[in-house]
């Protein structure tokens, strides 16, 4: 099946859910972002900012206890939950109990940005997946290692997973060269194997669903290949999912918005040198223009 190209025309014909004029923040969606560590507290700030710029209404952040207070000050829009840490900078097993009260109350969950300690992160994901089965779930960065469990891993319900080629090679135990040689095939195979919507990121990004549907996107510029850019993209997608967009739609829109933001920033700063933290501010105007 040929991939559907993600273009402004496609997006205009695939409009995002919009709140009613009198809708409150609950109508715009409540999202939970789980991530950050004492070495990478900024990742969760980038993701959270992007999620709110994408239009989500309510935000809860769960992050490492050692940085929770700083994150709360830097992100005054969020409720911040402190998670006790392991010796390797991950979250202790009790983290699931701290997050359990949110089950059934959040529209979307993003897990992974800035996480440390692969073993602890995988244990947490195995607990969170059934707990938040009724929420849109987006898995990024360290949390994606949950699919590396022995045996043929499959999600009980479709989630969105967002690897770049190097991460996909690690997750599937293939070479990066093999992934890059056939990104569409790699994305479709992983989507069907894991029962997930898979966004294989790169200069050419492929989105595949478990039923074999596929979208492609080319655009943006090399300036987007910068620290924190992936965290920003993951937050953007999660904000759109919190508003009620299906995972594949939130992903297609998020990838397009991310690329267009890079193009706008390149006009002002040049192709190299703009920062991931500057991407979210471009989103509201781009959303307005694409909806026109």
Q: Which residues, 6+ apart, have CB-to-CB distance to 227 below 8 Å?
A: 276
Tell me if 156 sits within 8 A of 194, measured CB to CB. no
- 175 backbone φψ class: left, alpha, beta (φ>0; ψ -120 to 50): beta
26 or 65, which is more confident: 65
> Could you tell me the residue range of the domain that residue 34 belongs to?
4-291
pLDDT, tens digit, 9 for 90 and up, residues 155-183? 999 999 999 999 999 999 999 999 999 99
**What CATH number is attached to the domain comprising 222?**
3.40.1190.20
- Alpha-carbon distance 116 to 6, whole Å? 33
Query: Is residue 24 pLDDT above 80, yes or no?
Result: no
pLDDT, tens digit, 9 for 90 and up, residues 28-79? 899 999 999 999 999 999 999 999 999 999 999 999 999 999 999 999 999 9
- Alpha-carbon distance 73 to 69, whole Å? 6
Domain count, the chain: 1
pLDDT, tens digit, 9 for 90 and up, residues 224-274? 999 999 999 999 999 999 999 999 999 999 999 999 999 999 999 999 999
CA dihedral 43, 44, 49, 55 (to 10 degrees): 130
- Alpha-carbon distance 1 to 212, whole Å? 8
- Alpha-carbon distance 186 to 140, whole Å? 17
φ, ψ of residue 224 to 5 degrees: the values are -75, -15
Bridging pattern class, strands 214-218 and 136-139: unpaired
Q: Which of 55, 149, 64, 63 shows the shortest CA–CA distance to 108?
A: 55
Tell me if 95 sits within 8 A of 78, measured CB to CB. no
The mean predicted confidence, pLDDT, of the chain is 95
Q: What is the pTM of this model?
A: 0.96
């Amino acid at each position: 099946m040929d991939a559907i190209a993600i273009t402004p025309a496609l997006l205009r014909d695939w409009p995002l859910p919009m709140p009613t004029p009198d809708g409150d923040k609950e109508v715009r969606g409540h999202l939970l972002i789980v991530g950050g560590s004492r070495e990478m507290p900024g990742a969760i700030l980038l993701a959270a900012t992007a999620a709110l710029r994408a239009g989500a209404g309510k935000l809860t952040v769960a992050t490492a206890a050692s940085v929770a207070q700083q994150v709360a000050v830097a992100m005054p829009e969020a409720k911040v939950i402190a998670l006790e840490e392991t010796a390797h900078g991950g979250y202790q097993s009790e983290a699931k109990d701290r997050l359990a009260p949110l089950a059934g109350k959040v529209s979307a969950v993003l897990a992974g940005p800035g996480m440390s300690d692969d073993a602890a992160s995988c244990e947490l994901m195995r607990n969170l997946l059934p707990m938040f089965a009724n929420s849109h779930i987006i898995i990024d960065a360290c949390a994606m290692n949950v699919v590396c469990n022995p045996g043929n891993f499959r999600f009980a319900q479709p989630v969105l997973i967002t690897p770049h080629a190097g991460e996909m090679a690690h997750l599937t135990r293939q070479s990066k060269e093999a992934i890059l040689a056939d990104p569409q095939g790699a994305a479709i195979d992983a989507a069907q194997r894991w029962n997930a919507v898979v966004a294989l990121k790169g200069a050419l990004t492929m989105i595949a669903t478990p039923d074999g549907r596929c979208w492609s996107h080319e655009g943006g510029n090399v300036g987007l290949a910068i620290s924190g850019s992936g965290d920003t993209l993951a937050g953007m997608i999660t904000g759109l999912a919190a508003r009620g967009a299906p995972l594949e739609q939130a992903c297609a829109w998020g990838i397009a918005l991310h690329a267009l933001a890079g193009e706008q920033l390149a006009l002002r700063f040049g192709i190299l040198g703009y920062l991931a933290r500057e991407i979210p501010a471009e989103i509201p105007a781009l959303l307005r223009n694409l909806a026109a």
